[in-house]
Structure 1
Amino acid sequence: MSTSAPTPLPSSPPPPPAHAPLEAGQVLDGFRLEARLHQGGMANLWRVTRLKPDGTAAADDLLMKVPRIKGGEDPATIVGFEVEQMLMPQLSGPHVPRFVARGDWTRQAFIVMERIPGDTLRPRLDDAPLPPEEVADIGARVATALAALHRQHVVHLDIKPSNIMFRPDGTAVLVDFGLSRHEHLPDLLEEEFTLPMGTGPYMSPEQVQFVRNDPRSDLFALGVMLYHLATGERPFGQPNSVRGLRRRLYVEPVPPRAIRSELPPWLQEVILRCLEVKPDRRYQSAAQLALDLREPAGVALTARAEKLQGSGAMRRLKRWFFALGAEAPPPPPAGQQLARSPIVMAAVDVDNATPELLAQLCETVRRIVQTESGARLACVSVMRVNRIGIDELTDKQGQSVHVKQLIALKHWARPISKALDLEDGRLTFHVLEAPDAAGAIIDFAHRNGVDHIVMGARGSSALRRYLGSVSGQVVAESDCTVTVVREPAAS
């Protein structure tokens, strides 16, 4: 969808000539410049007011981004602004600024968008290291924004704290799409330039190798940001040459817990997985990363969680040798990458379902996950608690009800894990404590970007009235695909 700038008002003064300095009070294509908010090396940001046909000001809070064209600047600056002008009208949703208008280069190039109040995430780096729970919360919100962006076929390719803002309700907003790539639009930067494009500390290994269409590059950059927020240090320093950038192809970062021992192992597991050199060893989607950051109890720990030092000299030398002249393999198209990396949620009533229904549910889930090589399986059970009153948290033998349910859930999933070899955190378990099973399932799926819910419904008429309302409510209110499995008919 393309949106053109409003026609200038007849009573407005003519727009300033190209390259002339802009001043407060000027009207440009129906937008009055109120105050310059920021003067950067590549663009100026102005707070502007949209004027109605009668000359009165509209109430919306808007921002105008104007490129700084002085002559002799880096051509990438101009091309990057063209990219942003091309991309922003295609984007929608709460995780990007709302696009309003754009100006023609023959007169005055600009982009008008919604103004997000407040500062970027950049000042929080000065307070690093942050508490682990705050690092996880920031990371989960940014990963959720990335998931929404990637679903629109866009890879950002410049994720860093200064390009992240937050709405008053805490929703993360991604800004500055000058280096981005849209799967269905021409890549102007790739056509014009042959050097790696990005911000040095945050560039993924494949960006260094000139690959610009892998959404997992944004997850690497988010991993760099999480590392910095958790430790106060950058994992790869601040390189300013291609040679320095290529070091991340063979030099592993110091494990975060070697810098800050009180960090929980699960957080190191998440961060180091984001920073894997090969994209296939990272999280396969931003939604999968957000799930682990929101549900740390379900993070599967591997050798990454226990590392306290980087790679040795021999391993580094071996990796350096293989990195010489290496080219990153072409990734699948962004849309295809996301499609084959869904989050599948198995909602299992381990306490009440019959063995036959549990077996049928297990087989159905196995078949669904088997068809998607990068699928993440989240096994969920709901532990019912009272809305009012004291809950019995232990059984008659004094055992934790929560732990018993978790063990039963893992036992149910054992055939799936054994058959599909779901390694590297692709299988997680979650026991939700809630008075309303359907509401808990729906909320978990919505918060964690679940793509497909698989759950059971009993065959018994009496029990169907009890559970059928749960499955029926989930089908009616979930915003993803739901498969309801019934108990096999008696022969």
Structure 2
Amino acid sequence: MAKPSRNRPLIATGAELDGFTIGECVHRGGMATLWSVAHPGINVPLLMKIPRVSEGEDPAAIVSFEMEQMILPRLAGPHVPGCFGTGDFGRQPYVVIERIPGTTLYDRLSDLPIPYEEARVIGGKIATALADLHRQNVIHHDIKPSSIMFRPSGECVLIDFGLSHHNLLPDLLQEEFRLPYGTAPYMAPERLLGVRNDPRSDLFSLGVLLYFFTTGERPFGEGETLRGMRRRLWRDPHPPRKLKTDYPSWLQEIVLRCLEIEPVWRHPTASQLAFELAHPEQIKLTARSERQTHDPLSTVWRRRFNRGLTQPRPKSDLAAQLASGPIVAVALDTAEGAGLLNESLRKAAEQILATLPSARLACLNVLKLGRITLDKTLDEQGNNKHIDRLVALRHWASPLQLDESRLTVHVLEAIDPASAILEFVEVNHVDHVVIGARQNSLARALLGSVSARVAAEAGCTVTVVRPPRLAAMHGQEETEAGAVRNG
């Protein structure tokens, strides 16, 4: 662990350090202070974070600051503050970050409980930010209201990475301390066993936050001793519906799944959690959703003496875990004559899902609207076109025999099918699109192929599947598997 120098430059308003002019102190925390700073070559508002390293300070403050210095410069994107400089402990430790306007989610505590719909939107934004963070090999490990902000454009920004784990960097907290560091009410059970490399620990913390923000009560109480915290290794919280009779079933399903003791019982990835929060009407409800009582004593005792729940687990591979639970979207054509192509699409989807036991499948169809005509909701037989297509999508997926919790169907209404598919892919953070290439036609020649545009513009892997008759020209039925990788 690096040792701070006794001859550090004085940090004071008006002083200059490595080209940064120091302004006012805007916050004094238990582990660090924040100062406004300016730099002639940087046009965004900045903050300089400086650890508290004086005599008697917690040594964990220094170690966590070293972790933040290592991790922040490696992060990018709208869900983290930009990093503009760091200073080493030999002279003056600091990190300069983008100053996000506004306040943290902590300022909403006086408003609790908040409306369910607002909590759904907030939770979805946090889950999206976590998914982006996990893809960058980082687990936050301190998700709580004071670590969450929102940009004026709406994106969630995660701050305070001092307790984080980077899958490709040394974990100094793990190496130097045996006790778990974190915020007790939000800490996942496996953290008590020394597990710091499972991204689903962040989902547990988000579940605590959603429970708290929608009921006004913390699922595991307020302050807890380490001994008391170990109870969450075998004891569930009271179901939200016991506290609020109007609590939505779909929201309880999500919250209690996040708060499962075993990580494997939670959502496989933050992306899948964000997907469920974006589509609550399609959530597969289980017994969790209607539970109104505490777990029975027999269950508590079984967990209490189950060594698998109370012993440290082997380390997992973060990248492999995320890769095993992608969101796969299949774009289907329900028009007459598309049967052979849809069968090829099903075979392609089956091959992809066979190696991904935690993947989620989203079946898409676009109900094309006219540019100037008034569209009718019923077909010539008087059937609702939207509902008919939803039924057709489920019928197409039925041979795959997926658990309902892994399958959703979506009919998108749009003038431009390609734009509708691309928007769905972006908004729902789809990892892999499977789409068919229609046979040659005059319309396709004049207007361009939907599959070609999706393959060119989607920010994920795209598999373009050819119908059998086209493939036969090449002597076999084929797919352009993984044909395009964007982003």
> TM exceeds 0.5?
yes
CA deviations 1:93-121 (Å, max 9, x no partner) are 11111111111212221111111111001
Q: Displacement of 1:441 after TM fit?
A: 0.7
Q: Displacement of 1:347 after TM fit?
A: 1.0
CA deviations 1:333-366 (Å, max 9, x no partner) are 1111111111110111223452222211111111
Task: Provide the C-alpha distance between the structure 1 equivalents of 2:369 and 2:242, rounded to a whole number of angstroms.
Answer: 40
Q: Displacement of 1:70 after TM fit?
A: 2.5
Cα pair distance change 1:107/1:353, threshold 3 Å: farther
**Aligned AA (2:425):** A
Point out where structure 2 has 5 or more consecutive residues left out of the alignment: 473-487
Aligned residue for 2:398, secondary structure, equals: helix
Match of 1:422 among 387, 392, 403: 403
Task: Provide the C-alpha distance between the structure 2 equivalents of 1:400 and 1:303, rounded to a whole number of angstroms.
Answer: 32
Does 1:470 pair with 2:450? yes
Task: Provide the C-alpha distance between the structure 2 equivalents of 1:343 and 1:198, rounded to a whole number of angstroms.
Answer: 30
Report the counterpart of residue 49 of structure 1 in structure 2: 38
Whether contact under 8 Å (1:160, 1:225) holds in the other structure is: yes
Q: Count residues in correspondence.
A: 467
Aligned residue for 1:489, secondary structure, equals: helix
Task: Provide the C-alpha distance between the structure 1 equivalents of 2:125 and 2:21, rounded to a whole number of angstroms.
Answer: 34
Match of 1:40 among 3, 7, 29: 29
CA deviations 1:392-413 (Å, max 9, x no partner) are 1233454332221111110110
Match of 2:51 among 67, 85, 88: 67
Task: Provide the C-alpha distance between the structure 2 equivalents of 1:29 and 1:437, rounded to a whole number of angstroms.
Answer: 53
Q: Displacement of 1:436 after TM fit?
A: 1.6
| Mapping of residues 279-318 of structure 1, within 5 Å | 279-318=263-302
Task: Provide the C-alpha distance between the structure 2 equivalents of 1:438 and 1:267, rounded to a whole number of angstroms.
Answer: 32
Does 1:336 pair with 2:344? no
CA deviations 1:308-339 (Å, max 9, x no partner) are 22211221222222269822422421111111
**Aligned AA (1:348):** L
**Aligned AA (1:272):** L
Comparing 232-241 with 338-347, which one deviates more in the overlay? Answer: 232-241
Report the counterpart of residue 416 of structure 2 in structure 1: 436
Whether contact under 8 Å (1:89, 1:99) holds in the other structure is: yes
Report the counterpart of residue 164 of structure 1 in structure 2: 148
Q: Percent identity?
A: 51
Whether contact under 8 Å (1:457, 1:467) holds in the other structure is: no
Q: Displacement of 1:145 after TM fit?
A: 0.9
Q: Displacement of 1:204 after TM fit?
A: 0.8
Task: Provide the C-alpha distance between the structure 2 equivalents of 1:469 and 1:227, rounded to a whole number of angstroms.
Answer: 46
Report the counterpart of residue 55 of structure 1 in structure 2: none
Task: Provide the C-alpha distance between the structure 1 equivalents of 2:337 and 2:24, rounded to a whole number of angstroms.
Answer: 64
**Aligned AA (1:166):** F
Match of 1:28 among 14, 17, 22: 17
Whether contact under 8 Å (1:300, 1:428) holds in the other structure is: no
Task: Provide the C-alpha distance between the structure 2 equivalents of 1:482 and 1:468, rounded to a whole number of angstroms.
Answer: 17
Task: Provide the C-alpha distance between the structure 2 equivalents of 1:399 and 1:255, rounded to a whole number of angstroms.
Answer: 41
Q: Displacement of 1:256 after TM fit?
A: 1.7
Does 1:96 pair with 2:85? no
Aligned residue for 2:469, secondary structure, equals: coil
Report the counterpart of residue 77 of structure 1 in structure 2: 61
Comparing 351-360 with 446-455, which one deviates more in the overlay? Answer: 351-360
Whether contact under 8 Å (2:431, 2:460) holds in the other structure is: yes
Point out where structure 1 has 5 or more consecutive residues left out of the alignment: 1-15, 53-57
Task: Provide the C-alpha distance between the structure 2 equivalents of 1:462 and 1:407, rounded to a whole number of angstroms.
Answer: 30
Task: Provide the C-alpha distance between the structure 2 equivalents of 1:319 and 1:145, rounded to a whole number of angstroms.
Answer: 33
Give the TM-score normalised by structure 2: 0.91
Does 1:188 pair with 2:172? yes
| Mapping of residues 330-479 of structure 1, within 5 Å | 330-388=314-372, 390-416=374-400, 418=401, 421-422=402-403, 425-459=405-439, 461-462=441-442, 465=445, 469-479=449-459
Aligned residue for 1:60, secondary structure, equals: strand
